[in-house]
């Protein structure tokens, strides 16, 4: 089903331990979102046998996230791009700057009024692009865009895999109300049912 609206754009700062495993800070509002474009690049390998393709493997390699926002505040710009705020509150961007990766969360409204929620676990952003125009006969809004590279996270989930995205649709079967309510309280952590193997005791 098509989505018709985008809002609640949040980010979460990441800290990594000595093994590179991520810990996420409490999410904070990034900006008012207008557009989000996500493109994904896959690594593909084909195994040939008996003169044909016996198996095809496609794995997530990286992605690109382009956000159109109304404005990026000073604190968010510093966190995302590595720019610094001087003693006069001015944002200073230097050629040596490089922002640390963050997690990005947002939601998109569907035509039926329900929302689809997202977390991208690790995104590294570049410097925002600014569009400026002279004042003409009609009013034209110029808003910044910011582009980031989407990566898988280092920390494995309960299945031993490296997730790069979490996505859930409000109202779908099996989706609890608490999952939706708490979506922005913290970065969503995958949860899997534990598999318990039955053990049989043999008699001597």
- Would residue 199 count as lying in a domain? no
- Would residue 195 count as lying in a domain? no
Number of domains forming the structure of the chain:
1
Give, in order, the Cα–Cα distances in Å from 192 to each of 24, 38, 155, 189. Answer: 20, 26, 15, 10
- Would residue 202 count as lying in a domain? no
Segment 136-185, tens digit of pLDDT: 554 444 567 788 889 999 999 999 999 999 999 998 998 999 999 999 99
- Would residue 187 count as lying in a domain? no
Kindly state the percentage of the chain with pLDDT values over 90. 34
- Would residue 147 count as lying in a domain? yes
**Three-class secondary structure assignment of 52-93:** EEEEEEEEEEEEEEEEEECCCCHHHHHHHHCCEECCCCCEEC
Q: Which domain holds residue 59?
A: 3-182
- Would residue 108 count as lying in a domain? yes
**pLDDT value at residue 40:** 79
């Amino acid at each position: 089903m098509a989505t018709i609206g985008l809002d609640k754009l949040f980010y979460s700062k990441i800290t990594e331990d000595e093994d590179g495993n991520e810990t996420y800070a409490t999410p904070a509002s990034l900006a008012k979102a207008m557009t989000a474009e996500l493109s994904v690049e896959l690594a593909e390998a084909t195994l040939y046998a008996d003169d044909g393709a016996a198996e095809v493997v496609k794995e997530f390699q990286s992605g690109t996230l382009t956000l159109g926002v109304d404005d990026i505040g000073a604190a968010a710009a510093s966190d995302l791009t590595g720019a610094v705020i001087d003693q006069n509150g001015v944002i200073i961007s230097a050629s040596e700057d490089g922002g640390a990766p963050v997690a990005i969360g947002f939601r998109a409204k569907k035509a039926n009024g329900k929302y689809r929620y997202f977390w991208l676990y690790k995104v590294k952003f570049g410097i925002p692009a600014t569009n400026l125009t002279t004042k003409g006969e009609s009013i034209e809004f110029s808003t910044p865009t910011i582009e980031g590279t989407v990566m898988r996270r280092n920390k494995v989930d309960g299945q031993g895999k490296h997730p790069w995205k979490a996505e859930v649709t409000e109202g779908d079967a099996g989706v609890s109300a608490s999952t939706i309510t708490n979506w922005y309280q913290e970065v969503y952590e995958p949860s899997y049912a534990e598999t318990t193997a039955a053990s049989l005791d043999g008699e001597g």
